[in-house]
Amino acid sequence: MQAEILTIGDELLIGQVINTNAAEISKQLNAIGISVSRVTTVGDSEKEILSSIKSAWQKNDIVIATGGLGPTHDDISKHVVAKFFKKKLILDKKTLAHVRARFRSFGIKKMPAVNIGQAMIPQGFAALRNDKGTAPGLLYHHKGKTFIILPGVPHEMHWLTEKWVLPELQKIYKKKLGDVIIHRTLLTTGIGESVLAERIGNIKEFLEKGATLAFLPKTSGVRLRISVHDSSAQKAKAKVARIEKHIRGRAGNSIFGTENETLEENVVELLKKNHATLSTAESCTGGMLSMRITNVPGSSEVFMGGVIAYDNSVKINELDVPKNLIDKYGAVSEECVRAMVEGALRKFGTTFAISLSGIAGPGGGTKENPVGTVWIALAEKDKPVAAKLYRFAGDRSIIRERSVDSGLEMLRRRLLE
């Protein structure tokens, strides 16, 4: 079975909204044995939507579209779909009752008249009740093919896909679904792509039939995506597990998590397991490290606080960094980050402290300390301070992001010890 995903909306084309819907739907279809042949994105243009539906409908068994089902004038997708399939829009009473009930649940007794339009569906289409919003999904099956359109709001699309779309497709194509396709992503940090590949070894020696391994570099590290095709989910999962075991055996602690886990989530969990606390002293990162830690639910159990010591006067007055030390060695120096991290450890009385000081650019670099120079220090109660010099490439935001990742990785490695 082959599907095409059609995402609709000007906001996707101009880069205002990142197209996460296509990735989510592809992953869900793969899991039930449906391959995605193409992903097409078009704006809110009747001509372009019609052309894209025509092409997708001719070439695929299944077409899933998202976007343009809202109640306003620029939401034209449903009308274009009705036009393509030559169907009249008719009022669906069950959907209208559901939409009204949604408004009442929010304390709005009189539903705006414009929302009545969301209960109008093309004749012959099935309305997929949307418990997360007011626009229903729509499904049409004709001569062995299926067309589905869902709201573009990600959480509504996700709910409708799991609740209605996947079960319906499995029911319709029960005897035609192909191999199950399962993906597993391992997340690494602190290791480059080529070194990681060398450490893992020749993929021909451990990749089984129907399996692939992709190296996907990001600013924060390399993702390893294992993909497996097999006749059943049970067989595919077993194959993934064997491949993952081999990779973990070779990559070791360079792997910190899986799928959408973040480095900060991993660090917070390790701090909890070790009954440890953390404080920070940040200069060039301006509080980014503290922000990422506190973005993790439950981080209040382990994170005590931090000092954004952007100006040297704050380093001196809040962290007790000696003025003569900064005058002699500069703020971007091993001596300074050591004094900063020791000051944070004393100030907050934590088990661990991390300090960062560097030059994020675009200006401020020197021959000795070019843009991208960052010193990071890690202090642990009653143990020697560890400090490390980094030379990061990239623009200001990338340098700051890599600095935070490196600070977290220093702490993660220490916690694993």
pLDDT band at 176 (very low <50, low <70, confident <90, very high): confident
Residue-wise pLDDT tens digits, 58-89: 999 999 999 999 998 889 999 999 999 999 99
Q: Are 348 and 318 in contact (CB under 8 A)?
A: no
Sequence-distant (6+) residues with CB within 8 A of 331 are 283, 312, 315, 357
Mean per-residue pLDDT of the chain: 95
**Edge-to-edge strand ranges of the sheet holding 145-150:** 35-42, 2-8, 62-66, 145-150, 137-142, 126-128
Radius of gyration of the chain (CA): 27
Residue 144's CB is within 10 A of a number of other CB atoms, namely 9
Residue 382: C-alpha distances to residues 307, 345, 351, 355, 379 (Å): 21, 10, 9, 17, 9
For residue 32, pLDDT beyond 90: no
Residue 101, class by beta-carbon neighbours within 10 Å (0-12 exposed, 13-18 middle, 19+ buried)? exposed
Nearest 5 degrees, angle CA 273-CA 277-CA 280?
Answer: 135
For residue 179, pLDDT beyond 80: no
For residue 30, pLDDT beyond 90: no
At residue 288, the pLDDT reads 98
For residue 197, pLDDT beyond 90: yes
At residue 193, the pLDDT reads 93
For residue 196, pLDDT beyond 80: yes
Residue-wise pLDDT tens digits, 331-371: 999 999 999 999 999 999 999 999 999 999 999 999 999 99
pLDDT band at 153 (very low <50, low <70, confident <90, very high): very high
At residue 51, the pLDDT reads 97
Domains and CATH numbers, the chain: 2-172 (3.40.980.10), 180-258 (3.30.70.2860), 263-416 (3.90.950.20)
Find the mean pLDDT for residues 167-191: 89
At residue 56, the pLDDT reads 97
Percent of the chain with pLDDT over 90: 90
Residue 156's CB is within 10 A of a number of other CB atoms, namely 21
Q: Which residues is 147 bridged to in the sheet?
A: 63, 140
Strands 62-66 and 145-150: parallel
- Token readout for 222 is 């390399």
Strands 35-42 and 2-8: parallel
At residue 31, the pLDDT reads 82
For residue 178, pLDDT beyond 80: no
**Edge-to-edge strand ranges of the sheet holding 211-218:** 211-218, 221-230, 180-188, 255-258
Sequence-ordered alpha helix ranges (H) in 60-192: 77-84, 93-105, 154-160, 166-172
- Token readout for 243 is 């491949």
At residue 175, the pLDDT reads 82
Q: For 167-181, 191-205, 213-227, 280-294, which range has the lowest pLDDT when averaged over its residues?
A: 167-181
Residue with tokens 């993909």: 227
Q: Which residues is 217 bridged to in the sheet?
A: 222
Q: Are 270 and 412 in contact (CB under 8 A)?
A: yes
pTM above 0.75, yes or no: no
Residue-wise pLDDT tens digits, 80-131: 999 999 999 999 999 999 999 999 998 998 999 999 999 999 999 999 999 9
Residue type, 348: F
At residue 130, the pLDDT reads 95
At residue 109, the pLDDT reads 87
pLDDT band at 174 (very low <50, low <70, confident <90, very high): confident
Residue-wise pLDDT tens digits, 262-305: 999 999 999 999 999 999 999 999 999 999 999 999 999 999 99
For residue 142, pLDDT beyond 90: yes
